[in-house]
Structure 1
């Protein structure tokens, strides 16, 4: 992923897992600035290559009528 694929406010996550984060901008060094909540607001920078757009987990059950 690169900077052009994200808009401020997009939900992202680190490719290795972790919390859902919000992309809030690009740092002076060209990294993605992300915010998330974990017992309070958090903010850090990440390489764009380490991020992916967040997709909610898919339900692991189905409802069917018998």
Structure 2
């Protein structure tokens, strides 16, 4: 099955999720964080803390493969 997906140009991502579904998840996460990044009420230190505890952690976890 994976070979057929690669030949069709639609290779599955981690856990056999289609790349389109992964892209939709990334877009949804970005939209949720966009309000935080554009907020004038949060200090830079708070934004850096949010980035380090949430975004950076997820990116590093995904890079462990």
TM-score, length basis structure 2: 0.24
- Identify, as 1 or 2, the structure richer in strand: 1
TM-score by length of 1: 0.24
Higher relative contact order (CA 8 A, sep 6+): 1
| Bigger Rg, structure 1 or 2 | 2
Higher helix share: 2
